[in-house]
Amino acid sequence: MSDGLPPRVPKADAAGKSPLLEVRHLKKYFPIYKGVLRKLVNQVRAVDDVSLFVREGETLGLVGESGCGKTTVSRCILRAIDPTSGEILFREADDKVTNLAALDRSELRRFRPQMQMIFQDPFGSLNPRMTIFEIVSEPLYVNGMRSKTEREDHVAELLRLVGLRTEYMARYPHAFSGGQRQRIGIARALALNPRLVVADEPVSALDVSVQAQVLNLMLDLQQKLNLTYLFVAHDLSVVKHISDRVCVMYVGKLVEMATTEELFQAPRHPYTAALMMAVPRPDPSSRDIIQDLPGEVASPANPPSGCYFHPRCQFATEVCRTQTPELREITPDHFVSCHRAEELHLAGIKVNQETQI
């Protein structure tokens, strides 16, 4: 395998620092066993050679359809599951870079507080038998804050930060609505002052009128606390709304990574373009733009040869059927894995002047 990694130079931020998180050639295969002897018959390539990076203080959106491996990537980064191979480089406050993929459980403990997660389901992710105080203060207790008054002060501060009243501390999760529960989940994630917050579909379970509140809160908190987000979602409009840069995944592979505006206005990968055309616009006067992509998402257990997208791609040529494209940087900060990226001119989404605020 040739080095598909983007060159190091453009990755450093303005201050010349390396990214907060860099993932290199991450792979996660899930085995499929069969028969009494549990013979290994196949592997699901949930994440198949993904490389990406997140700069400090930015939001990286990760989009893709179900089964594309976006959740698996986020869980591997947090080491909730163990990657099959690859490197997860995390830069600590003192600029020391550590490969998390190589650490064992006890060595990881030091990194856990620095990386936290916001979960998708606000109903499943809060223990119904614990009060809000217990839920939010648990990470504090585990990490050595034993005094109850100290924890109470800290929890009160966190609840205020996410826009909840501090009197709610003694209540149980059932007393809260979906949006409030998601705020509780955010308060818990922020309890230990993490440097990286992984949010896995944080608003997809919420009603539309509440989604905007939670998204605004996340933007606010990022400014106040200089947080770095990895924002995983399937909804392109939500991802566009919150991200500085966006990665698009398809069947375990990263197909494109670019700044949000560039990705949406000038996508270079046919899948990204098709994905954007498939989003229904809330505008009845432009109805004919629903364009569909033929066929079905390929199975990660049995992916097609060459570029995984070629059976559905209208621009596919012979080289797409035989060779797997590598992720490469075609313009500064714009990475694409497509053989024909330079020659294709794909339509993006124009920013609607009416909706400008």
Partner 1 sequence: MVTQTHPLVKPASDLTREPLLRVEDLKAYFFMDEGIVRAVDGVSFDVMPGKVVGIVGESGCGKSVTMKAILQILEAGAKIVNGKVTLRSRIHHGDPNSAEELIELTHLHPNSRQMRRIRGAEIALIPQEPMAAFSPVHTVGNQIMETILLHQDVSKKEARRISIDVFRAVGISMPEQRIDSYSWQLSGGLRQRAIIAMALSCNPRLLIADEPTTAIDVTTQAQILKLLRKLQEERQTSIIFITHDLGVIAQMADEVVVMYLGMVMEKGSAMKIFKDAQHPYTQALLRSIPSVQSHPRVKLPTIAGSIAHPFNRPKGCPFHPRCTHFMRGVCDASQPHLVEVDEDHFVSCFLYSEADGTKKMNKTDAAPAKEESL
Residues that bind partner 1 (CB under 8 A): 65-66, 163-165, 177-180, 183, 207-213, 215-217, 219, 234, 236-238, 240-244, 260-261, 264, 274-285, 287, 290-293, 296-297, 349-352, 355-357
The CA distance from 81 to 108, in Å, is: 13
- 100 vs 230, beta carbon nearer partner 1: 230
Task: Using the CB atoms, write b or e for 162-192: b if 16+ within 10 Å.
Answer: bbbeeebbeeebeebebbbbbbbbbbbbbbb
- 217 vs 247, beta carbon nearer partner 1: 217
The CA distance from 184 to 153, in Å, is: 16
Site of tokens 């990470």: 139
Q: Between β-strands 59-63 and 85-91, what pairing exists: parallel, antiparallel or unpaired? A: unpaired
| Nearest approach, Cβ of residue 319 and partner 1 (Å) | 24
| Nearest approach, Cβ of residue 47 and partner 1 (Å) | 18
- 231 vs 335, beta carbon nearer partner 1: 231
Are 290 and 278 within 8 A, CB to CB? yes
The CA distance from 300 to 145, in Å, is: 44
| Nearest approach, Cβ of residue 56 and partner 1 (Å) | 16
| Nearest approach, Cβ of residue 8 and partner 1 (Å) | 26
| Nearest approach, Cβ of residue 83 and partner 1 (Å) | 25
- 264 vs 308, beta carbon nearer partner 1: 264
- 114 vs 259, beta carbon nearer partner 1: 259
Write the DSSP string, 239-270: HHHH-SEEEEEETTEEEEEEEHHHHHHS--SH
| Nearest approach, Cβ of residue 74 and partner 1 (Å) | 18
Residue 119 in 3-state DSSP? Answer: coil
- 74 vs 272, beta carbon nearer partner 1: 272
Are 60 and 245 within 8 A, CB to CB? yes
- 106 vs 286, beta carbon nearer partner 1: 286
- Region class of 183: left (phi > 0), else alpha (psi between -120 and 50), else beta: alpha
| Nearest approach, Cβ of residue 274 and partner 1 (Å) | 6
Q: Closest Cα to residue 162, out of 150, 176, 172, 174?
A: 176
| Nearest approach, Cβ of residue 145 and partner 1 (Å) | 26
Strands (E) across the chain are located at 21-34, 39-54, 59-63, 85-91, 97-99, 115-118, 196-200, 228-233, 245-250, 253-259, 328-331, 334-336
- 105 vs 224, beta carbon nearer partner 1: 224
